[in-house]
Structure 1
Amino acid sequence: MDWSKLLRLPTTVLLLLAAVFALITLVQLVMLRRHLHRRRRLAASGRALLCLGAFALTLLLAGGGFALRGYRLLGEEAPVVDIDARILSPQRWALVLTWPDGSFRQVQLDGDDWRVEAVVLKWKLPALLAGLPPLYRLDRLSGRYDDAAQETSAPRTVIDFGEAGAFDLRSLSKQYPQWLPEVDTVYGSGAFLPLVDQGHYSVSLMRTGALVARPDEATARRIGQPLGD
């Protein structure tokens, strides 16, 4: 089975398939009721098995659709997000976040640096040998101050992306590890860089699970300039 192709199915496709099997379940329930009314026990038993099977597939597809929402495949180096920064006032910034699919979000951030964090899910060896790739999702963006003392008293900004919602693989693996026996570990990875006016940054994730943040050439030159230049 090609797990890469399976996991590339969008959430909507999985939910549509779940709806189809839910409809099949209802049809089987109607047929089961008819057979029971006519006292056809053998036929009713067959319909009951089909009903249970269709219902199980409904739950599996619906659960997979919701749990995988927000997760992406992790290749050798997967682009996570591009960040463009514009200064509003000292230690106050306007950021535009652009995802690989072209969607974007505008936020404001306090601090000297930005920090982005992601949740990475890795599978155990049998699943890896079967071709199941690691997964990741962007978790949050926050501001960071260079002065540790200021960090304790200055305004803080934390932006929760919350792409996966409350029903998430990370929560499931903690609360019901028996449901996901092939999950090896779920952990966080983060990276940060200094903020400069008109700065452009690219964030990617290595297959090892490490986030990598890179400024473009012009931004790197601004970061290297002394303050006031």
Structure 2
Amino acid sequence: MQYYGLAGLVLVIVALILLAVLRAGWRLSWLLPWLKGNLLLLGVMLAGALAIVAWELQQFKALEPGSNVATLEFRKMGPQQFELLFSAGTEPRSIMLEGDMWQLDAQVLRWQGLAHAIGLQDGYRLHRLTGRYRALEQQREVVPVAHAGVLHATPGWRDAWQWLDHLDSGALLETDAFVVRFIPMAEGARFGIEIGETGLTPVPMNRQAMNAMQRSQ
């Protein structure tokens, strides 16, 4: 009986609240402006989200197999310290890397369903260049730095590729990632990066780069 009584008391409180609400605004003259304001706010938020998506999409390029997408040239600055001159069709960009090996990541968008059927090309964006130590003890001591080595200006919180990757819907767009891993850095080594349907391929462009590639095998 105790819980029936408590339930009855709660229902009385509910009835009193509803009565007060109806007496204060039973004509609901406020409801239409409130709904209109919320719809307008929702429209502004949707427009903002689509603007971010548009900004993200213009940073991707069509994935054309066999094309050279970047050039990397290494200059040794000190023990396990290299300056990397990175060029992806623009003026070379200087990036400082520490370690013995380098790694390059690319974000890939693959169109699915109707979008693929009408001929939309998959796209890619070169994402991050990082150095890595060969010795595990040294690598464990590395303190990760947010946005270090990132090759585009998009912060992680509004990176559309990352949001799509977390959603993992795959209905219209599917995320993929290409990675070149653990290529030794060497003084004067120059590499070209070719892209294909399934990944990135480092291409040695001089003797130093060829020797480095041989050491990685």
TM-score (norm 2): 0.65
Deviation at 1:121, TM superposition (A): 1.0
Could you say if the C-alpha distance between residues 135 and 95 of structure 1 is closer, same or farther in structure 2, counting changes exceeding 3 Å?
same
Percent sequence identity over aligned pairs: 22
Mark the runs of 5 or more structure 2 residues left unpaired by the alignment.
1-43
What whole-Å deviation, never above 9, does each CA across 1:129-169 have from its counterpart, x for those lacking one?
Answer: 21011111111111012222322125778412233445443
Mark the runs of 5 or more structure 1 residues left unpaired by the alignment.
1-54
Partner of 1:96: 85
SS of structure 1 residue aligned to 2:67: strand
Residue of structure 2 aligned with 1:126, choices 103, 109, 114: 114
Partner of 2:69: 80
TM-score (norm 1): 0.62
Partner of 1:162: 152
Aligned length: 169
| Aligned partners of 2:100 and 2:133 also within 8 Å | yes
In 1, Cα distance between the equivalents of 2:87 and 2:206?
Answer: 19
In 2, Cα distance between the equivalents of 1:155 and 1:222?
Answer: 30
In 2, Cα distance between the equivalents of 1:76 and 1:96?
Answer: 24
Deviation at 1:190, TM superposition (A): 1.0
Deviation at 1:203, TM superposition (A): 1.4
In 2, Cα distance between the equivalents of 1:142 and 1:160?
Answer: 8
Partner of 1:211: 200
Could you say if the C-alpha distance between residues 181 and 90 of structure 1 is closer, same or farther in structure 2, counting changes exceeding 3 Å?
same
Partner of 1:140: 128
In 2, Cα distance between the equivalents of 1:168 and 1:87?
Answer: 33
SS of structure 2 residue aligned to 1:81: strand
Partner of 2:59: 70
In 1, Cα distance between the equivalents of 2:214 and 2:163?
Answer: 47
Q: Determine which structure has more spread, i.e. the larger CA radius of gyration.
A: 2
Q: Does 1:223 align with 2:212?
A: yes
